[in-house]
């Protein structure tokens, strides 16, 4: 794996994970349940909730898998469009928006979770996290380690 993808995926996964934990706690949720929610994408909501720590650990692994995937996509795109490297911060903010929309309107509805109603309580704070943390952490790390 390219160093750029490795470091971008790790940084994104850690920062996004910490941001998600902070938001979960601020909204009165539980950290284990948050990671079970990620695992629910492959296990289904009920099974993930019943599986306890095992599904939370699966959710954590999937969280990093998604972060590495997002980093790999940005890396590949930056090889085609050098603007993504030259204007890494601005492009990272936009990429965060695109990742958020992709997850909410394609990945989650096609997962075992399925379609869910729009929820402003979580949609906009998570959008902000993607714009501030996810996209820029990937774009700036890809720029730093461009090969």
Query: Whole-prediction pTM value?
Result: 0.93
Instruction: Give yes or no for residue 1 having a pLDDT over 90.
Output: no
Per residue in 11-50, pLDDT (tens digit) is: 999 999 999 999 999 999 999 999 999 999 999 999 999 9
Region 37-65: mean pLDDT is 96
Instruction: Give yes or no for residue 147 having a pLDDT over 90.
Output: no
**Which residue ranges make up each domain of the chain?**
3-27+64-144
Per residue in 84-94, pLDDT (tens digit) is: 999 999 999 99
CA–CA distance, 135 with 1 (Å, rounded to integer):
20
CA–CA distance, 138 with 71 (Å, rounded to integer):
6
């Amino acid at each position: 794996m390219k160093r750029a993808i490795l470091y971008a995926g790790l940084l994104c996964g850690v920062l996004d994970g910490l941001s998600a934990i902070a938001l979960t706690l601020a909204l009165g949720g539980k950290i284990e349940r948050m990671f079970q929610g990620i695992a629910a994408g492959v296990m289904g909501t009920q099974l993930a909730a019943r599986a306890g720590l095992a599904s939370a650990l699966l959710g954590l692994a999937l969280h990093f898998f998604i972060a590495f995937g997002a980093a790999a996509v940005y890396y590949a795109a930056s090889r085609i469009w050098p603007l993504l490297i030259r204007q890494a911060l601005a492009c990272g903010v936009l990429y965060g928006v695109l990742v958020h929309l992709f997850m909410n309107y394609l990945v989650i509805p096609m997962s075992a979770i399925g379609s869910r109603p729009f929820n402003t309580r979580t949609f906009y704070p998570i959008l902000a996290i993607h714009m501030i943390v996810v996209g820029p952490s990937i774009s700036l790390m890809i720029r730093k380690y461009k090969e």
